[in-house]
Amino acid sequence: MTEDTGEGTLIDEPRAGTWPASDALVGVIRLSNAHLTVLVMDGGRHAVELAGECAPGDLAINQPYACRAEANHIRWEFQGALTRPPMAGTLRGRQFSHRVVVQSVGQVVAHRVHRT
């Protein structure tokens, strides 16, 4: 079921999958090389994971963050938290970035973006 809100179409049942993500923000931190994954959890509940790279120390585990990204022509917004410690990512200059995964906690708002 969908609902047109004027800003896009609100999606009730997102399709499971993984897509490249743009404009990926976790709090005020912009992720690079980001991907968004929709998971179907036990009981049919959907969860969203936003994965990408940021500078070491930018994000803390188990802290709540307002998250948003655009993936698969959908604008996603949710509250999320890192569910595991950051991992070493790519080497940029003389410093490794950290690969982080943030999983949604609670409601996920997904709007299909209408392009004109």
Instruction: Express each pLDDT in 9-28 by its tens digit.
Output: 556 677 889 999 999 999 99
Class of residue 101 by CB neighbours under 10 A (exposed 0-12, middle 13-18, buried 19+)? middle
- pLDDT confidence bin for 29, thresholds 50/70/90: very high
**Which residue, 7, 9, 1, is CA-closest to 112?**
9
What is residue 10's predicted lDDT score, i.e. its pLDDT? 58
Rounded to an integer, what is the distance from CA 5 to the centroid of its chain?
21
Q: Which residue has the higher pLDDT, 106 or 34?
A: 34
Can you tell me the mean pLDDT for 82-89?
82
User: pTM here?
Assistant: 0.83
Number of domains in the chain: 1
The token pair that represents 84 in the structure block: 């595991």
CA distances (Å), origin 34, targets 22, 37, 49: 7, 10, 10
**Domain extent for 22:** 2-112
Q: Which residue has the higher pLDDT, 87 or 95?
A: 87
Class of residue 62 by CB neighbours under 10 A (exposed 0-12, middle 13-18, buried 19+)? exposed
| Whether residue 31 has pLDDT greater than 50 | yes
CA distances (Å), origin 111, targets 7, 55, 68, 76, 78: 8, 29, 11, 7, 12
Assign residue 21 a region: left if phi > 0, alpha if psi is -120 to 50, beta otherwise?
Answer: beta
